[in-house]
Structure 1
Amino acid sequence: MEFTISFLWISLILSFLYLVKRKLSPGAGKTGALPLPLPPGPTPLPIVGNILDVGAQPHRSLARLARVYGPVMSVRLGLSTTVVVSSPAAAREVLQKKDQALSGRWVPDSMRALGHHETSTVWLPSGDPLRKHLRAVIATNIFSTLSLGATRAVLERQARELVANLRRCTGQPVR
């Protein structure tokens, strides 16, 4: 019992010190893909962020928060920072004028580990010249009529095997 109370007090003190440090240093804890400074928003709690502010009815909670913080606000959901746009005028500006800046995908660490994000058409931004070049190479060398014709026999054999397997499994679950 005494250990539990001590643990709770230590956790409370550490959380308080974290919040004080975050308030005193303006750029603390704001690293990542989003540009600084972030729009205003509710103060997040450590680890859970603003999940408790969003609650069970996020559309109503975010509308209530938008009345306080404005049509563009930042909300931390767990460890990810999200920018919420809640007015038609702000959404129009974001989606029409800032679309290239916001259209990039979040690249998982597993893709960054071996540098696959630098040479894959999936993870490169849509306006990147390398992505356009890679797509042209793929279209001319992999999906060209000549390349697809060369693999036609293999594709037909696989299709026949699939149909034969389905005929064998008629009336049974397909595995």
Structure 2
Amino acid sequence: MGAGGITSSGNAKAYPGKLTSKVIGSSIMAACGGLIFGYDIGISGGVTSMSPFLKEFFPNVYSKQLNTHESSNQYCKFNSIPLTMFTSSLYLAALLATVVASFTTRSFGRKISMLIGGAAFCVGSLLNGFAQAIWMLIVGRILLGAGIGFANQVIWSLYIC
């Protein structure tokens, strides 16, 4: 008797697939695509709660954080459009970049798409690392999102094919 109470007659063919290095490599690449998103969620959540970061780039949010008795709403504690743009710009850019990357991958191949995604990710990382103003943070996050969107699309196309 099999799982769930189903009986096998014994005439079923064995699955002919093998665990090859290509399957293992593709699976690792697909897992890394998910890791990129998870890592960013952890980083951006941690950074936006750091006082020095808030004091430098979002002074209104920092002053509201010091006066926590001012807001009793725990769902929307700081109500800051620039902070919301900082947080969500990466995800929106990744969504749009995934759509663009599907056409790029189909037209020019995976290698070019990965190079475009990697370049966008590197420029976005540099821009965020040397940011002196909010616009630099947001543009950097948009470029990071574009890089993640391209990488995830290429990774999943590799995994599916």
TM-score higher than 0.5: no
Q: Choose between structure 1 and 2 for higher RCO, CA contacts under 8 A separated by at least 6 residues.
A: 2
Determine which structure has the larger strand proportion and give its number.
1
TM-score (norm. length: structure 1): 0.21
Determine which structure has the larger helix proportion and give its number.
2
TM-score (norm. length: structure 2): 0.23
Flag the structure with larger Rg.
Answer: 1
